[in-house]
Amino acid sequence: MKIELVTIGDELLLGFTIDTNAAFAARHLAELGVEIVRRTTVGDAAEPIAAAVREALDRTGAVITTGGLGPTSDDLTKPSIAAIFGRGMRFDEEHWAWMAERWRARFQREIPEANRRQAMIPEGARKLRNNHGSAPGIWLEDAQGRWVAMLPGVPREMRGMLADTILPLLRQRAAGNRVVRSRTLRTTGLPESLIAERVEAIPGGVPDVSLAYLPNVDGVDLRLTVRGTSADEADRRLALGADRLRAAFGGDVYGEGEADLAAIVLDVCRARGLSLAVAESCTGGLIGERITRIPGSSDVFLGGVISYANEVKTSLLGVPAAVLREHGAVSEEVARAMATGARERTGAAIGLSATGIAGPDGGTPEKPVGTVWIAADVAGEVRATLLHSWGDRQEVRQRAAQAALNLARKMLAG
């Protein structure tokens, strides 16, 4: 089943609002095997709305609109689309009574007559219940089965109505469709080319699964997608594919979906009763920030030191001034001393450190921008690793924080 999405709103066209509804709808519809083949955004004006919906209807016969239903939107969407179906508008007594009741309850007064327009709906339309706001959604369908579903634009209302009414309706119609299911395995610290080599070396490959490499600042995600005759059948094939990939990558897959490496490290520490501290130079607090973003991190994370200046590395972490002089702040020796300093000065079981050159300035031929030393001290065993990062200042810092968390994860895994 192919459908089109028409999103309505001046704020969207003007760029003051980012359209997150469309992505939400696409993901949920895909799981029913419903494919969005085109998305169109138009402003709050009758003609552009009618044109966009008419064209979409001609192409697919199935259209979802969002926006233009609210009390302030001059009710353009409903009559414009009714006209495409050759329908007039009728006054809906039931909705008017509901609105009047709501006014009495909320504002302790009678609803003004001016609001009657909001109770107008296209003739022959089906109302879609809105559990999160006052404007009902509308389902309009003709004798040939061509339909338009009109949803509100407010994200909470749109998402609620999609889940409550549209998805169940389409699930029935889409029965027998091929469904699309996907899973995402997350890796970090491996270059995309090496990942591709490992995938190609899997005996028999990863059959029946389409595989996408999605590089981002935290690593490369592997998205597996299958189209199947049922969710169960598709999930079985997905599981087979994911198992093969996990076998090929072993411990390099740190999680699935939206898994956060900071949360994973916290879980491992918690399970083993280990506390954690940080010593941050180029990351400037980012590692701690990522850890403390996770609710409940306080039972594992003690804190640490942001040792941006060399004097602070010495005074608060005990990095010997001679080591700083001899090797420079961005060096294996200093990273190791920082990790151990964080552990010892806070009394934690694990100390985690990062020191590097985030740029844009400060690089040298020997230590260019992107050079970051990472170290972890796990109960006295210290390991260090050198990262050659790239991108802008913030990307270098984000990669450094992720690499530090990954070093801790790997050491804790054995």
Beta strands in 166-260 (DSSP E): 179-187, 210-216, 219-228, 253-256
Evaluate whether 362 touches 305 at the Cβ level (below 8 Å).
Answer: no
Rg of the chain on CA atoms, in Å: 28
Nearer to a second copy, 387 or 401 (CB): 401
Contact 317, 345 (CB under 8 A): yes
CB 65 within 8 A of CB 139: no
CB of 3 to a second copy, least distance (A): 11
Shortest separation between residue 209's beta carbon and a second copy, angstroms: 16
**316 lies in the site for a second copy, by CB under 8 A:** yes
For the segment 138-167, give every residue that binds a second copy (CB under 8 A): none
CA neighbor of 65 nearest in space, from 152, 159, 125: 152
Shortest distance, position 60 Cβ to a second copy, whole Å: 12
Extended strands (E) in 200-257 = 210-216, 219-228, 253-256
Q: Please report whether residue 79 would count as binding a second copy according to CB under 8 A.
A: no
Q: How far apart are CA 342 and CA 325, in angstroms?
A: 20
Distance in Å, CB of 30 to a second copy, minimum? 6
Q: Which of 89, 113, 88 is nearest to 99 (CA)?
A: 113
* Positions 326 through 365 that interact with a second copy (CB under 8 A): 345-347, 358-361
Compute the least distance from the CB of residue 414 to a second copy, in Å: 27
The footprint of a second copy on this chain (CB under 8 A) covers a number of residues equal to: 71
**Stretch binding a second copy (CB under 8 A), from 61-69, 170-178, 242-250, 392-400:** 392-400
Query: 111-130: buried (b, 16+ CB within 10 Å) or exposed (e) per residue?
Result: beeeeeebbbbbeebbebeb
Is residue 308 at the binding interface for a second copy, with CB under 8 A as the rule?
yes
Task: State the minimum distance, in angstroms, from the CB of residue 405 to a second copy.
Answer: 13
| Span 11-50, contacts to a second copy by CB under 8 A | 12-20, 22-27, 30, 36-43, 48
Give dist(CA 237, CA 230) in Å, integer: 11
Site for a second copy in 277-306 (CB under 8 A): 277-278, 280-289, 291-293, 295-298, 301-306
**Site for a second copy contains 315 (CB under 8 A):** yes
200 lines the binding site for a second copy (CB under 8 A): no
Binding to a second copy by residue 178, rule CB under 8 A?
Answer: no
Please say which residue, 212 or 247, places its beta carbon nearer to a second copy.
Answer: 212
Judged by beta carbon, residue 52 or residue 264, the one nearer a second copy is 52
Helix, strand, or coil (residue 66):
strand
User: 278 pairs with which residues across the strands?
Assistant: 304, 352
Looking at the Cβ atoms of 118 and 125, the one nearer to a second copy is 118
Q: How many CB atoms lie within 10 A of CB 198?
A: 16
Tell me: does residue 402 bind a second copy (CB under 8 A). no
